[in-house]
Amino acid sequence: MSDSVSEYRLSPPDEAPPTLSCRDVVREYTRGSNSVFASSSDAPTVRALDSVSVSISTGEFVAIAGPSGSGKSTLLHLLAALDTPDSGDVSVAGTDVTSLSNRGRTRLRRDSIGIVFQHFHLLPSLAARSNVALPLVEHGVSKRARRERADELLEQVGLGDRTDHKPGELSGGEQQRVAIARALVADPAVLVADEPTGELDTETGQRVLDYVEQTATERAVVVATHDEHVIERADRVVRLRDGRVVNDG
Ligand code: ADP
């Protein structure tokens, strides 16, 4: 065996860094800063996250669970690069979010993060196809290619026959699947969803979960939830209480 081969064999295997991670993040909110307090430094603060660390790899579907007020949405907003922590690090697809300007974060979200909200956030005046295609406008994709890609995604989520329907003509479950198709249209490395089944009945919620689960084979997926069905189907559950991780597994 040559020296170079034995050196190669003795080296530890390369471990891929997590696609999505935060380390020791703290996020505080100021309460009543515009009220009786002489300056914002006198106003009481609430520590929504206290030294939270989470790592999620491509291929993982992770649920963030915990009672109301435990910090789930705050953590999700940090992981989606919608917000930045007071201290600690957040990394998305190899980029340190805390080092970016607002514009840099917008670009990171456009290129690497799909976001799904509980209340869908679809544009009511646009058909399903146009809602799904919308993020591709910012990517400079031609109209024809946008249409083809949107139709492909809608087909995948079982809505190939609803492409011309506006959100008001779709059920809650259908609207949520349009929102998932929109979040995935630019093929992001990360999918972040805040209570995606919160407004849906059990059966419809399970269908939405089927799509979320399928898509996790190619990306890191993180879902904040109260829903036991989501928790059962996740690969891992990060449980928060009072802004701290109390269990991760
Ligand atoms: P969850 O999503 O688990 O319900 P949140 O992340 O929304 O929890 O909230 C965590 C804590 O931070 C709660 O005490 C909440 O009241 C507080 N909080 C959240 N957002 C704000 C805000 N914008 N201003 C002040 N306090 C906030």
Q: Which domains, and CATH codes, for the chain?
A: 16-38+45-248 (3.40.50.300)
Of 238 and 211, the one with more pLDDT: 238
Distance from Cα 20 to the centre of ligand 1, integer Å: 22
Q: What is the pTM of this model?
A: 0.88
At a CB cut-off of 8 Å and minimum separation 6, what does 95 contact? 108, 112
197 ligand 1 Cβ < 6 A = no
Distance from Cα 118 to the centre of ligand 1, integer Å: 16
Query: What are the phi and psi torsion angles at 111 (to 5°)?
Result: -85, -30
Best residue among 74, 223, 238 to mutate for probing ligand 1's pocket (most ligand atoms within 8 Å of CB) is 74
pLDDT tens across 109-156, in order? 999 999 998 888 999 999 999 999 999 999 999 999 999 999 999 998
At a CB cut-off of 8 Å and minimum separation 6, what does 117 contact? 179, 193, 194
- Ligand 1: which residue has its CA nearest to atom 27? 29
21 ligand 1 Cβ < 6 A = no
Query: Given pLDDT bands bounded at 50, 70 and 90, which one contains residue 186?
Result: very high
For residue 129, the model assigns a pLDDT of 97
**Whether the Cβ atoms of residue 136 and residue 183 lie closer than 8 Å to each other:** no
Residue with tokens 């976001």: 115
